[in-house]
Amino acid sequence: MKVINISRLWSKNIEKEFFTKTLKVAVPEQLFYITEDGRYIAYWPKNYKGIKATLQSRNAFIGSFTEKWTKELLEETAEELGAFTVQGVICEDIGLSAKSPADVAICKTRDQHQKPENILMIIEVKMSIVWNWEYNPSTGELKSIGDYTTHQGNPGLLRSDTILKAIGKSINIRVSSFKSAQIPIVILGNTPITDSYYEKVDHLKKTGVIQGFYSTNPQPLDDPIHKNNIKSTPGRGFLRFDSYEEMKQELINLISEEQEFFSGMKTKKELGKIIEIANLEPTYEKKAEMFLKLLRDENER
DNA sequence: ACGGAAAACTCAAAATGCCC
DNA sequence: GGGCATTTTGAGTTTTCCGT
């Protein structure tokens, strides 16, 4: 029995919607390559050997589409927390400037300018067109002509510089101020990641820099048992969400756990002293607070 | 002809460039 | 800021070179 896709997560339907909507404000030449024999396609097929151009005009469209899509996708999740999703969040304290705001954030208010304590989660959106598509300009018909293994592009989180950009931006937030220490940062994509990054995303989670690289695309490959379509890395630094509920639970857990990011470079002696003093506090929470305070006081000097 | 060092090669990853 | 093309880098391996 064929399962009908009623999921709200990323799928071919969403990509189709992107093209349909964007074609109302853009000409096909801005969204598709044109092959030597006059076909309109989203990516150059793997076996295409003709003369190629490099399309630049689609980028801005897909960027704003996916950020808006993500904002709307997460609205229900935010609502359960009594919060809102906001696009383009600026918070100078933690390195989110007007030039590079947070793509999407879950915040206690609807304002674009936010105080650190009102930001519950920062979401970096890294999504692109995943499948290859062919457009028929005379009929307006759009059809999927293969998954990302069949074309030459490298979509979303499969690109190493996309991952590095995400890491760079997150580190920038973490080192801007301790005010960002309680805010989870997650990367939301629509593709798997390459195996060369499996260990790195797990380590980024373990060290607290980024709480997760997530894919909202349950079936990125037409072959569902393809080895690259992993559900999760061993340390859960990467997760593929297969349903809205799954995603919502993960995000809500992250926000309600109230974790603290900390880092440093200290001698064992310095660390030992800090631990000794912190250990004088009566409860685990107080011990932790003192530990972090001492760690940070030292660092500020 | 031989061992060791330098040079050349290879493949993939990373950096850079450039366009919109 | 995203995405592709081009250039550079890096690691590992093979080939060449050189003095003995």
* Interval A30-53: pLDDT, tens: 788 777 677 788 877 766 655 556
Residue nearest to nucleotide B19 (CA to C1'): A56
Confidence of residue A4 (pLDDT cuts 50, 70, 90): very low
Higher pLDDT, A174 or A275: A275
Phi-psi region of A95 (alpha: psi -120 to 50; beta: other; left: phi over 0): left
Q: What is the pLDDT of residue A77?
A: 93
Half-sphere exposure of A245 (CA within 13 A, CB side): 0
* Nucleotide at minimal C1' distance from the A57 CA: B20
Q: What is the pLDDT of residue A78?
A: 93
Q: Which residues touch strand B (CB under 7 A)?
A: A 56-57, 59-60, 160-161, 164, 196
Whole-model pTM above 0.85? no
Q: Does position A248 have pLDDT exceeding 90, yes or no?
A: yes
Residue A204: both structure tokens together = 């980024």
Q: Which nucleotides of B are covered by protein (CB under 7 A)?
A: 13-16, 19-20
d(CA A16, CA A21): 9
CA of A173 to C1' of B20 (A): 28
Range in A132-141, A192-201, A204-213, A260-269 with the lowest mean pLDDT:
A192-201
* Nucleotide at minimal C1' distance from the A151 CA: C4
* Nucleotide at minimal C1' distance from the A62 CA: C2
d(CA A85, CA A102): 11
Q: What is the pLDDT of residue A3?
A: 46
Q: What is the pLDDT of residue A66?
A: 85
d(CA A81, CA A131): 34
Residue A164: both structure tokens together = 């590095």
Q: Does position A247 have pLDDT exceeding 60, yes or no?
A: yes
Q: Running DSSP on this structure, what letter comes out for residue A44?
A: -
CA of A76 to C1' of C18 (A): 74
- Render pLDDT for A107-141 as a digit per residue (tens, 0 to 9): 999 988 899 999 999 988 888 888 888 888 888 88
CA of A108 to C1' of C7 (A): 47
Q: Does position A2 have pLDDT exceeding 50, yes or no?
A: no
Q: Which residues touch strand C (CB under 7 A)?
A: A 43-44, 52, 54-56, 58-60, 62-63, 99-100, 103, 125-126, 128-129, 152-156, 159, 161-162, 165, 169
Higher pLDDT, A74 or A155: A74
d(CA A132, CA A148): 7
Q: What is the pLDDT of residue A143?
A: 84
User: What proportion of chain A, given as a percentage, has pLDDT over 70?
Assistant: 89
Q: Does position A210 have pLDDT exceeding 80, yes or no?
A: yes
CA of A50 to C1' of C8 (A): 27
Amino acid found at A175:
V
CA of A118 to C1' of C10 (A): 45
Q: Does position A252 have pLDDT exceeding 90, yes or no?
A: yes
Q: What is the pLDDT of residue A290?
A: 94
Average pLDDT, chain A: 82
CA of A156 to C1' of C7 (A): 23
CA of A160 to C1' of C11 (A): 19
Q: Is A96 exposed, middle or buried (0-12, 13-18, 19+ CB in 10 A)?
A: buried
User: What proportion of chain A, given as a percentage, has pLDDT over 90?
Assistant: 23
Q: Does position A1 have pLDDT exceeding 70, yes or no?
A: no
Residue nearest to nucleotide C5 (CA to C1'): A54
CB A209 within 8 A of CB A170: yes
Higher pLDDT, A276 or A191: A276
CA of A291 to C1' of B12 (A): 44
